[in-house]
Structure 1
Amino acid sequence: MSKRSAGTAGLVLAGMLLAAGPAAAEVQVRYAAPERFTDAENRFASGQPLRVTLAELTRILVDLGNARLRPDERLDITVLDIDLAGFDRSGFASPTGVRVVTDATPPRIRLAYVLRRSGRIVAQGEDTVTDINFLLTSNPRFSTGGLYYERQLLRDWFAKRFPTGAERG
C-alpha cells in the first residue's frame, strides 16, 4: 500500500468516526435482592408485578442518565430498596390495581451509585431519595407512563446530584 492510499484510508476512517458522533453516556442499573424491597409490587394479585416495576424504573433511570450525563461518563446504580408512593388497596380487582396515594405515603428509593468519567471514579455514594412534599411537586395528569411520583423524585435527584454545565456554575 502506498503512502498516499494509506493516508487516504486514515482520513476516511477518521471521517467515519467523526460522523458517528460522540459516544453516549452509559447507565447501568442493578437491583439488590428485589424480592425483599419494601413495596415494589402489588401484593394483592392485581396491579403491576415486580418485573414491570423494575423494568419501568430501569427505563426512567437510563433516560434521566442519558439526558444529564456527559458522553464520556458512566453511571452504575444499584437499587437497594423501593417503597412506591401510596399503598395497595385490597378488595379491588382491576387490571391495574388500586394504589391509594396520600401525603403520608411518599415514595422512597434507596440506591448506591458510582459515576465514572473517562474510566476514573469522580463521584460515588449511597442516597435515600424521598420527598415528603411529593404531592406538591409532581402532577400525574401531565405525565406519561407509570411511576409518576417516583419519576419526579428521581428527576430531582439527578438534577441535584449530577448538575449540567449551567447548573454547576
Structure 2
Amino acid sequence: MRVRVLLFAAALAGAPSLASAEVAVRAEPGPYVSSWSFRSAAERDSIFRELARYLERTGARMLPKGRSASIELVEIDPAGRFEPWRPGFDDVRVLRDVTPPRVKLRYAVTERGRTLARGEETVTDIDYLSNISARSSGDRLVKLKPERR
C-alpha cells in the first residue's frame, strides 16, 4: 500500500479536472509537534513547508473546478528514529519496520461555500521499507509520489 496524503481528497473530489482548484495548507508546527523526531527546528520547519507545497500542487490538480480544500498539517513523524547511543551515528535516522512515517492532518473540502467533508486523518505507510526505489532516493517525500508503471 502506497501512501498518498491526498487519498481522502481524491475520494471526495470525484474525477480529476484539468482546471485548478484552490488548496490552502497551513503548515505551522505548533508546540505539540515532537521535537525529538527532527535534528533541529529548521529541519522540522523545512519538512513542513515542503509537504505543504506538495499538497497544494497535488490538491489543485486533483480537485474538480469549483471545489476547494483547506488542510492543516498537525504533526509529521518522519520514518525511523535517531539512536544517539550509537557512537558516530547519533545524527543518523535508523529506519525500521516499527517506525513508519506518519502525517496527521485536518482537512475540509468545500464547494460554493458548502462543506462537503471534513475530518482528521493520520496517514502512514507501514510497508515503507519494501519500496526499493524509495529507500535509495534522497527525496524526503518520495513515498508520497505516485509510482510510475
Structure 2: distance between partners of 1:83 and 1:64: 21
The answer to whether 1:88 aligns with 2:107 is no
CA shift in 2, pair 1:41/1:53, >3 Å? farther
Structure 2: distance between partners of 1:83 and 1:32: 14
Equivalent positions of 1:1-169 (< 5 A) are: 24-31=20-27, 33-38=29-34, 42-43=38-39, 49-90=43-84, 91-92=88-89, 98-136=92-130, 139-140=133-134, 145-149=139-143, 151-152=144-145
Amino acid at match of 1:70: P
Structure 2: distance between partners of 1:87 and 1:63: 29
Identity in percent: 35
CA RMSD in angstroms, aligned pairs only: 3.1
How far the C-alpha of 1:39 sits from its partner, in A, is 5.6
Structure 1: distance between partners of 2:70 and 2:132: 26
Unaligned runs of 5+ in 2: 1-17
Task: Count residues in correspondence.
Answer: 127
Q: Which has the higher helix share?
A: 1
TM-score with structure 1 length normalisation? 0.60
State the structure with bigger RCO (CA 8 A, min sep 6), 1 or 2.
Answer: 2
Structure 2: distance between partners of 1:34 and 1:70: 31
